[in-house]
Structure 1
Amino acid sequence: MISALSWNIRGINSNGAFDKFKHLKRQHNLCFIAIQEPFVNNSKIDRYKRGLRTHFAFANCSNKIWIFCDEFLECNIISDTEQQVSGTIKNNDDTITITIVYAKCDANLRMDLWDDIKNIATNCHNPWMVIGDFNCILDSDEKEGGNFYNTFERQRIWKRLDRGLSNQQWVQRFNDTSITHLVRTRSDHAPLLVSIASTSNTNTKYFRFLNFWVEEPGFQEVVKQAWQIPADGSPMWKFHLKLKNTYKQLS
């Protein structure tokens, strides 16, 4: 199992934040760490690399994202833009792609980030995870608060801005991956702890329906064509075969 951490710390050198990182690294045996908003000049990144006892360190072009990686992982940066940095990580026979995100607060400025991610997706055939601070929510259920109590006092607002997303190859290869929101401390963002693992039976691949498929162009046509494939047998057996044809086409 590999453990990784992504955290918008709002200043790595403030209020004992770096000591917290060292503690988390020891506690969870972290081999990969991503920091958003270090608020430290990138010329000092090597000092923090030595402090964390990691082999690889990288600061992206906007100095908003720092990455640290242990020696037994081979890390190569493949894309570096203002709001994301992506790289491949090789461990033994596995090669994965990781994208660390620190998105702009302005929705219009995030358009460049979405384009970057789409471009990476076009050429990515590895198990791929995108993780970090997206600075946006998926729907209203991910926001609490925001109404006025009275003229002078506002209610505290909570939003889920940090998350991890993965592609189908990741789900199939690392089917026991978990993401845990750790206790929020020294920042208004909670650290995301990622445990990357797979069960012993890696040959069994279960069908998983993904909700976003229904929004894809041609989804209805794929289902229709799969359902119309002729099937012989009893009504229940025909139904079984049509379902099987459908999930094969969707996969």
Structure 2
Amino acid sequence: MLPNLWGLCSHDHSPTVLHNSSQHMNISVSIADKSCYISAVYAHTNYVQGRNLWYDLNAQIIANDGPWTCIGDFNVVLGANEARGPRVPHALPSTEFKTFTDCSKLIHLATRGSLFTWSNRRSGVALTEKRLDKSLCFTKCGPSMRIVKVVENIWNRPCYGCPMYILTQKLKNRKKELKLWNKNVFGNIHLNVKTAMAELELIQNSKTIMPSQDWRDQENLAQNKLMIALDVEESFWK
């Protein structure tokens, strides 16, 4: 039987296969003298088999400390927002997948292009589309760690005077720098979410009144924009 997953990598990155199964392959690579980990995923369509995959991936992430990327066909959606068709996706597989990504502290990376990566290639009311291909990552260098670095840099700046004056100045500098950091990294995150939701709602209403491929394409772009805004908002609260 031919393998269903193939891995190609430059020898310069010293690739090492850590674990493999019929649903995934985990490798470690060396980048800038640091170990990074990659999981190529092709999940089973049966969600019961998917449970074994979530367990294996979580165990590997725990056992190998460092940046992780999980890329591939996960054959599951996070919720109804990642599917379109005559039937609502089953809740249990979505819940189990979300539990796995939350427990593994994996971030769903935003993608470009069409929101849905799979379809049954039918037309009209029989058409079903889903977002099954995803890219997830785990890194200690997320927004929460970057803000720690910002605060450390501010606090370590030299300041002279009496202890109370030094403390007051450091607190003022921290407030100023954090405001600037928040604006540069996140912008007005809550406003961005509301704007993206309003744009999507307007397009969906227009598509209902005047169905066309153009409105459908615009809806895909608007949904992708909303997902990006929601991911940024989620990162802000972590």
Q: Same fold (TM over 0.5)?
A: no
Q: TM-score range by the shorter chain?
A: 0.3 to 0.5
Task: Give the TM-score normalised by the residue count of structure 2.
Answer: 0.44
Is the helix fraction higher in 1 or 2? Answer: 2
